[in-house]
Structure 1
Amino acid sequence: MYIKKIILIVALLGLVVGGFFAYNVYDAIFSPNTKFNNDEAFIYIPTDATFDEVKKTLEPLLADMASFEKVAERKGYTGNIKGGKYAIKKGMNNNDIINSLRANNIPVKVAFNNQETLKDLAGRIAGQIEADSLSLLASFEDPSFFEGNGFNEDNKLSMYLPNSYEFFWNTSADKFRDRMLAEYKRFWNEERLTKAKEMGMTPEGVVALASIVHKETAKVEERPRVAGLYLNRLKSGMLLQADPTVIYAIKKYSGNFDTVIKRVLYKDLELDSPYNTYKYAGVPPGPITMPDMSAIDAVLKPEKHEYYYMVANVEDFGYHKFAKTIAQHNRNKVQYIQWINAQKINR
């Protein structure tokens, strides 16, 4: 009888201890373990991060780091860390947090506009994904890549189409570059390629001309008319005589793309550069900026007209006055010259 009591007491103690242990395990795994007030918080885990680095990132967000560490070890997360952007929702328990860090890498929106150099693009992208500007620039400038894909030193800027794209934050420099090539090829579908061929132009030539159209007017609705004007000049054997190409030539010659030039002077027109369309015929060897897709499509689907000249419209800023003859153009130009002189814009 005495032995039975001892066995019963031992069994009861085992149940109590087991229950206490089970409760602690359950509490560590399934009890809420966040201490921030917002609905969710985002963390960025670098590629090849250690568990200590993950803990340091999570420290401001978790109420009990010790319990998180125990659950992470139990679930095998400490040796299977994945880089990326992750969301921690308010009230999450350790189990949910670890499951999120394992499988819920959140895409980020990566956007860039009309950069004039690959260096500028690298700087812009570096602020949006894990890859730094140096690795991005090295990837962009890799000759084996751009030459292997039909580009050269002058037109390699053509491959990057300004837009907003989805990437994982931990995207590498090479993977970003490769995705841009894929987007370029997707944009140049059969219809656009056929249209360019009918015009006697390559996709790279179209992008180069589109970059001039883009620089000439920010008004999307005016771009087909501007494109039509430049195509008229090309067909007739005239020089393009586009001021934005001269500005680009000055920047490229000086190496300073931060230069602000509001007025092209007569002396600038003498700069010996293949980008100076006052001096060299045809389309420049490469784009002077990354043109919007709307500018590229404007070149592929230009407005049909007989305009050969244009000048900024000072009565409707942002737009231009178009002319069919040099006499009409000179009359339009007088008003613009008077306005720019009144503004005292000398450069």
Structure 2
Amino acid sequence: MKRKILSLAAIFAVLGLGAAFWAYRTFIAGPAIPKGLADYTVEIPAQSSFEDVVGLLLEQKLLEDEAAFRLLAEQMNYKKDPMRSGRYELQPGWNMLQAIRHLRGGAQKPVQVVLSTARLAEEVAGRAAAYLEADSLAFAYAMQNPALLQELGFTPETLMSLFIPNTYELYWNTSPKGFLERMKMEHDKFWGREGRLQAAQALGLSTAEVYTLASIVERETLVKAEKPRMAGVYLNRLRIGMPLQADPTAVFARRDFSASRVTDYHTKFDDPYNTYMYPGLPPGPISMASISSIDAVLKAEKHNFLYFCAKGDGSGLHAFASSLAAHNRNAAIYRQNLRARGLR
């Protein structure tokens, strides 16, 4: 009898060792994440179930042994619905234990959200949606939410001044509200650096007004070096109550962004954004303004110029003038240069 007990004990010991070896080889020693794939990121949407996650991993060929994954996930309590959402990057050659720990732990791989050049808030919504989980409608809805805008300290007209063009690192599952809150934090940090807030106050302008003027400068010239001079022209006009008469504002009023020339169709259109029709700054920015344009307004060149006109020589530069007579001469040179280049 004793011999039988010892034999059974030996058999169970061997079976136990075998099971332990199998578990070690399957869950720890053997790679669960295959090598040689082009992409190792998996995006798990909000409210995903465990079955959804398994389906995603299989679809992207990130799972070699589905049965083993299910078994270990059960043991590691990684089957609670809904699953942890986010964008995760697995590593080739990881074992099953490492893969599940990573997904369960929520250590997301951030995405780089690039914001630049947009004219309208709905364009920003589209840009954000291209990088983050929520769709453009969800972002647009958040940007039109009066309570949220009030909480952030903006209006529908000034909202564009919230966005400082840059590349931002965010988590893929950042909500539209979370996105706007992050932009507010970045906005406040930007204005708190390099004496920008104090410079705006010295000009007698709010940060939104500086941004609005910067958006006009942004659309007037592509030459960074002449932005401070151009900003000085507009500040001079504001100072003496002269209409800004900025072509980009008339184009914005018409939403005619493909226009190659500004005509009466634009300048005579009755709209608060048309600075040919209404004095002072428009109600808000006419586009996203680059940092160089914002700083150009804050560090505007001090001069007596009230006018500027494109040179028309292909340089992209402008000729500046203090009097209407000088401006008219510059305009004549502009037309002459166009004719010389066969453009008129």
In structure 2, the partner of 1:159 is 162
Q: Does 1:233 align with 2:237?
A: yes
Give the distance between the partners of 1:217 and 1:32, measured in 2 at CA: 56
1:322–1:43 distance in 2 versus 1, CA, 3 Å: same
Kindly provide the amino acid, as one letter, of the partner of residue 77 in structure 1. Y
SS in 2 for 1:261: coil
- 1:173-192 correspondence to structure 2 within 5 Å: 173-189=176-192, 191-192=195-196
Deviation at 1:120, TM superposition (A): 1.2
In structure 2, the partner of 1:254 is none
Deviation at 1:172, TM superposition (A): 0.7
In structure 2, the partner of 1:13 is 11
In structure 2, the partner of 1:274 is 272
Deviation at 1:339, TM superposition (A): 5.3
In structure 1, the partner of 2:98 is 96
Q: Does 1:108 align with 2:108?
A: no
SS in 2 for 1:127: helix
Deviation string, structure 1 residues 253-285 (Cα, Å, up to 9, x no partner): xxxx6x411100134322112211122211111
- 1:56-75 correspondence to structure 2 within 5 Å: 56-59=55-58, 60-75=61-76
Q: Does 1:143 align with 2:141?
A: no
Deviation at 1:114, TM superposition (A): 2.2
Give the distance between the partners of 1:54 and 1:318, measured in 2 at CA: 53
Deviation at 1:163, TM superposition (A): 1.3
SS in 2 for 1:188: helix
SS in 2 for 1:85: strand
1:205 aligns with one of 185, 195, 209: 209
Give the distance between the partners of 2:175 and 2:297, measured in 1 at CA: 33
Pairs aligned (count): 336
Query: Given the two structures, how large is their TM-score scaled by the length of structure 1?
Result: 0.91
- CA-based RMSD of the aligned residues comes to 1.9
Kindly provide the amino acid, as one letter, of the partner of residue 75 in structure 2. R
SS in 1 for 2:313: coil
1:83 aligns with one of 69, 76, 85: 85
In structure 2, the partner of 1:250 is 254
Give the distance between the partners of 1:72 and 1:208, measured in 2 at CA: 54
Query: Given the two structures, how large is their TM-score scaled by the length of structure 2?
Result: 0.92
Q: Does 1:326 align with 2:327?
A: no
Kindly provide the amino acid, as one letter, of the partner of residue 155 in structure 2. N
Give the distance between the partners of 2:251 and 2:178, measured in 1 at CA: 33
In structure 1, the partner of 2:52 is 53
Deviation string, structure 1 residues 314-336 (Cα, Å, up to 9, x no partner): 32433222222222222222243
Give the distance between the partners of 2:21 and 2:70, measured in 1 at CA: 17
Q: Does 1:120 align with 2:123?
A: yes
- 1:251-330 correspondence to structure 2 within 5 Å: 251=255, 259-330=257-328
Note the residue ranges of structure 1 that are not aligned, 5 or more in a row: 252-256
SS in 2 for 1:109: strand
In structure 2, the partner of 1:130 is 133
Residues 313 and 334 in structure 2, CA contact (< 8 A), matched pair in contact too:
no
Deviation at 1:185, TM superposition (A): 1.8
Residues 312 and 335 in structure 2, CA contact (< 8 A), matched pair in contact too:
no
Residues 312 and 338 in structure 2, CA contact (< 8 A), matched pair in contact too:
no
In structure 2, the partner of 1:343 is 343
Kindly provide the amino acid, as one letter, of the partner of residue 58 in structure 1. L
Residues 135 and 173 in structure 1, CA contact (< 8 A), matched pair in contact too:
yes
Deviation at 1:89, TM superposition (A): 1.0
Deviation at 1:170, TM superposition (A): 0.6
Give the distance between the partners of 1:176 and 1:267, measured in 2 at CA: 38
Give the distance between the partners of 2:251 and 2:26, measured in 1 at CA: 65
In structure 1, the partner of 2:223 is 219
SS in 2 for 1:228: helix
Paired-residue identity, % = 38
Deviation at 1:228, TM superposition (A): 1.1
